[in-house]
Structure 1
Amino acid sequence: MSRTARVLTLVAAVVVLAGIAVGYTLHAVDRAARRDRPRAGGPRVSSGAVQLAAAPGDRRMVFRNTAWGPHRDELASVPADHPGGPRTASGVTCLRFHAAAGTGICLRAVHGALQDSYRAVVLDSRLRERRHYALSGIPTRARVSPDGRMAAWTVFVSGDSYAGTDFSTRTSVLDTRTWTLQDSLEKYRIIKDGHAYRAVDANFWGVTFADDDHFYATLATRGRTHLVRGDVRARTVRTLRENVECPSLSPGGTRIAFKKRVPGLPADAPWRLYTLDLGTLRETALAERRNVDDQAVWVDGNTVAYSLPGDYGANLWSVPADGGGRPRRLLDAGLAPAFIGAGPTRSR
């Protein structure tokens, strides 16, 4: 092949490669544009002010909006008694979220040039950042104590699912009054079945606060999960019952909603939703028969809410906490809800 022919071949190859690169770029831009464009038939979402404090008589639900469009992953708000109505988006993005008494905890991604990182952000009642903390893994659970003082979060240090056994978590507890951070519950003293217990495979997740000094959570060790009650000041946890994951304490403090592994179900979808009476340790299977991989939230003293997969990533559902009734879809395209403002607390 002559020198001229080689040059022409090289030029042609460069032109083809450049065309491929331009085509790929245009395709990526178009795909991003379609991703950010509101999908027909989706919920109505508009920008506005979102607060974590409700006016008297106004009860609201604040949650992560997962509808495709410019407000995807932003915290959004709807009236609690009209959750399917138009939602107000805040501009504040979170992967996991919870709030109580004017304090919010937002676990978010920080997008970098080479890779993403994650942080826990403490929010005030107007969603303004108070402080933030670097996270060592992928966000999965978040909770705030009833009076807003304490916050807790869990991340996957390795793995990204609770369904298998090949994962490791880290759960932290923060006092937002003193800014004292307990970076890992694995440093707590474990009392298992009445005896001191130590194990290198201990993992904790799913904190739910009773008050500023006490909480419930899941402990996993040696292939089993346990409900534990924790003491923040004493830095101890005590096991109460096996096969309890992602507990959520009722407003009256008498029951826990949780997900339970049920024998015979598929390994990748092993959970059903239950409640546990803390006085009698009697459990009740709820009417939701689908796999629930979530930490439920109490809507009031009689109803729990949880997320299930949907067309927009996740939908929020609710079901009575006494085992009766039937599941009801609260809203499309949302997860990680917090109910802001006074509501019924009866839990029997």
Structure 2
Amino acid sequence: MTRSRRLFVLAVAVLLLGGVGAVLVQRAASRADQPRTGGPETVAGPVTLTAGQGALAFLDSGQGPRRGALASVPADAPDGPRTVSDLTCRRFHAAAGTGVCLRSSPGALAQDNRAVIVDAELRQTRSFPLAGTPSRARVSPSGRLAAWTVFVSGESYGSAFFSTRTAILDTRTGKLDASLEEYAITMDGRDYRAPDVNFWGVTFARDDDTFYATLSTAGETHLVRGSVSRRSVTTLAKNVECPSLSPDETRIAYKKRVRAGASLWREHVMDLGSLRDHALAEKRSVDDQAAWLDDRTLAYALPADGAADRTDLWTVPADGSGSPEPLIPGAASPARLG
């Protein structure tokens, strides 16, 4: 074969490969634009945060164009068709017609990470830049206060080294406490200060002042009770992470580390009067801030079988009885709307 012939054959091969590549890219893009097949059924209609409607709001955790979208289902039919909104978030929570949506842009720099406050119709009312990757979000029962936690460094509470920042916002006045590390700390009856203090996992009481959260310092985690108006916290118990206050405000659900130095947690419930706790029937490791669906039932996310980047929602009785039950497939960040 002559040199010119070889060059001609090479040029044709390049053109053919280029054409095939373009077709494959076009088909992939077309598939990405299509609704996900084989996933949960959806229905048309608006998603609202109106209290009392008896719905469950959550984020779609599946693959495809709906990933991260806020959705809702009737509380009495959680496995039924879901209504999906245009609002997308990394973390979400809502109460009394107010929602907090933590957004995260793709890429290592994540320059557009924001906390967005939305009203009952999902209209943005306020927006704040985030100092890191979204981790936890909560709204007070009245809808007045919102809190969020981000990872400033590290990507997991099981990491050897990580740093968090937790903020509390008054959604009515716009007053923002940008870091709970500025709050006064009382530990074992004494003032406490340390450079390694981290807070995460806020949960609010009905009075729009009292809150509970996790304080980490000196290699230990503590449950703290705090006051927004006094800008202070007091430690109550050790080995408590991601607390969630029950609707009757008598108990805290939380994840308890069951093996030192490992990312293994067991869901527990603590009585706030006696500080006695008990393990729940869920024996798998739950790395989530559980949500109370009512005074008897907790909901939380676990990785879906065979899909590390997707979670399903589960429930378990709060009294330690029963067994875990599936709630909503392909979902995360649950919030009971009334």
Q: Same fold (TM over 0.5)?
A: yes
Report the identity percentage. Answer: 56
How far has the Cα of 1:67 moved from its partner?
2.8
One-letter amino acid of the counterpart of residue 292, structure 1: V
Aligned length, in residue pairs:
332
- 2:55 touches 2:337 (CA, 8 Å); kept in 1? yes
**Is 1:301 aligned to 2:295, yes or no?**
yes
Q: How far 1:214 moved relative to its partner?
A: 1.2
Corresponding residue number in structure 1 for 2:102: 107
Measured after TM superposition, the shift of residue 296 of structure 1 is 0.2
Equivalent in the alignment of 1:335: 332
Give the Cα–Cα distance (whole angstroms) in 1 for the partners of residues 19 and 210 of structure 2.
58
| C-alpha separation in 1, matches of 2:91 and 2:147 | 12
1:79 aligns with 2:77: no
1:297 maps to a residue whose letter is: A
Q: Distance in 2 between matches of 1:124 and 1:145?
A: 14
Matched, 1:313 2:307: no
* TM-score (normalizing by structure 2): 0.90
Which residue is 1:96 aligned to? 91
Deviations 1:11-54 (A, max 9, x none): 958974x8777766655555555556555542112442010004
Q: Assess if the C-alpha contact under 8 Å between 1:47 and 1:90 holds in 2.
A: no
Cα distance, 1:270 vs structure 2: 1.2
Question: Which residue in the other structure is 2:276 paired with?
Answer: 282
> What residue is the counterpart of 1:122 in the other structure?
117
* 1:165-189 CA distance string (max 9 Å, x none): 3110000000011100110001111
The answer to whether the 8 A contact 1:190-1:236 is kept is yes
| CA deviation map 1:80-114 (0-9, x unaligned) | 11100000001110110000000000001245898
TM-score (norm 1): 0.88
Task: Call closer, same or farther: CA 1:114–1:327 in 2, change over 3 Å.
Answer: closer
User: Match for 2:285 among 288, 291, 297?
Assistant: 291
Within a 5 Å distance, the mapping from 1:176-215 to structure 2 comes to 176-210=171-205, 211-215=207-211
Structure 2 gap ranges (5+)? none
> Could you tell me which of 205, 219, 223 is aligned with 1:223?
219
Does the CA-based 8 Å contact 1:35-1:68 persist in structure 2? no
CA distance change for structure 1 residues 23 and 293 in 2, over 3 Å: closer, same or farther? farther
Do 1:171 and 1:205's aligned partners in 2 also have CA atoms closer than 8 Å?
Answer: yes
CA shift in 2, pair 1:25/1:242, >3 Å: farther
Q: What amino acid sits opposite 1:250 in the alignment?
A: S
- The counterpart of 2:320, out of the listed 323, 327, 332, is 323
Deviation of residue 115 (structure 1)? 5.3
Distance change >3 Å, CA 115–CA 99, structure 1 → 2: closer
Deviations 1:143-186 (A, max 9, x none): 00010000000000001100123110000000011100110001
Q: What SS does structure 1 have at the residue aligned with 2:254?
A: strand
Contact 1:62 1:76 in 2 (8 A): yes
Q: CA RMSD in A?
A: 2.6
Partner SS, residue 116 of structure 2: strand
Equivalence for 1:240: 236
CA separation in 2, counterparts of 1:21 and 1:115? 33
1:25-40 → structure 2 map (5 Å cutoff): 27=24, 30-31=27-28, 33-34=30-31, 37-40=34-37
Structure 1: runs of 5 or more not aligned? 342-348
